[in-house]
Amino acid sequence: MPYSLKVGAIQCHILNDGLHPADGGGFFGVVPRLLWSRVIQPNADNMIPSDTRSLLIESDAGLILVDTGNGDKLRAKDRQRLGFAGRTDRLVGELRRVGYQPSDVDVVILTHLHGDHAGGATRWDTPDHTPGPVVATFPNARYLCQRLDLAEASFPNERTLATYHRENWQPLIENGQLQVVDGPQRIDVNVRTDIAPGHTAALQMVWVEHGGESLLFLGDACNWAVQLNRLAWVPAFDLFPMTSIETKRRIRQEAYERNTLLVFQHDAQVVTGRLVAGDRGPEVKPEITEEAWTDMGL
Ligand SMILES: [Zn+2]
């Protein structure tokens, strides 16, 4: 179910490509299960629910989409494993629910090129979602990704190989839709990106700012709200965990001082929240919440 909210006068929508099970140890790294299971209870396979949220911004520069979820090009056995069998067009369906078509999107910002963020950037050009020619899901959009991130994705190592799928971005290079950028970018007067290294070398978050209000779409700079409360709680997925801690320290201070609305991309319980003073420093006070494991009818 999409959530619509305003940042100043800027209309935003939080969309979702769907919830899938993910390994709890992956999300909480060296934190003992005894501790993180108090925040989110895993199932018998030690899996926890992971959402794949996107942000849609109705900006002066046009319609901006941040991240594209897993998309529909996964192999049948992966779709089965993630609980997506028989369900297609999840993100596009959410887009339609807030009144837009894929052709309406002007800019797609890819926070990074991991499969659960960039998978929906392209699609198979077949009527029944079976394998076929790969085309842009958003045919009129300019897609933005960081040069360092594209380099990592293009030349993965043994650890990162499984999450990078060339078909998610290569067709966009070939048809001229991928704009490769270096460092923070201003998309328009109210929307900009910010580099948040740690999860990857050049992860880009997105700020929306208007009328003294601000929203920060964190991407994988902080997956779960509790990871902002406890800076040492860093996912095992992060390539540079000590850098992740410093990135979170910076984000937390700035977001606290500005009373920023934070959007969590994977947290199955806390969709949005703001930082308030807590015993150990600023901590997230949830605003929009969901029940873990429910999929909101996607
Ligand atoms: Zn990632």
How many angstroms does the Cα of residue 209 sit away from the middle of ligand 1?
25
How many angstroms does the Cα of residue 134 sit away from the middle of ligand 1?
22
Query: Which tokens is 54 given?
Result: 């996107």
How many angstroms does the Cα of residue 177 sit away from the middle of ligand 1?
22
How many angstroms does the Cα of residue 195 sit away from the middle of ligand 1?
14
Q: Interior CA angle at 180 toward 179 and 181, to 5°?
A: 110
How many angstroms does the Cα of residue 211 sit away from the middle of ligand 1?
31
Domains of the chain and CATH, by start: 3-215 (3.60.15.10)
How many angstroms does the Cα of residue 62 sit away from the middle of ligand 1?
26
Q: Is the model's pTM score more than 0.75?
A: yes
- Per-residue pLDDT 10s for the chain (298 aa) are 899 999 999 999 999 999 999 999 999 999 999 999 999 999 999 999 999 999 999 999 899 999 999 999 999 898 888 888 888 999 999 999 999 999 999 999 999 999 999 999 999 999 888 999 999 999 999 999 999 999 999 999 999 988 899 999 999 999 999 999 999 999 999 999 999 999 999 999 999 999 999 999 999 999 999 999 999 999 999 999 999 999 999 999 999 999 999 999 999 999 999 999 999 899 999 999 999 877 654 5
How many angstroms does the Cα of residue 114 sit away from the middle of ligand 1?
5
How many angstroms does the Cα of residue 236 sit away from the middle of ligand 1?
11
How many angstroms does the Cα of residue 244 sit away from the middle of ligand 1?
12
How many angstroms does the Cα of residue 55 sit away from the middle of ligand 1?
16
How many angstroms does the Cα of residue 167 sit away from the middle of ligand 1?
17
How many angstroms does the Cα of residue 2 sit away from the middle of ligand 1?
22
How many angstroms does the Cα of residue 54 sit away from the middle of ligand 1?
13
How many angstroms does the Cα of residue 219 sit away from the middle of ligand 1?
8
Note whether 68 and 109 are within 8 A (CB): no
How many angstroms does the Cα of residue 71 sit away from the middle of ligand 1?
15
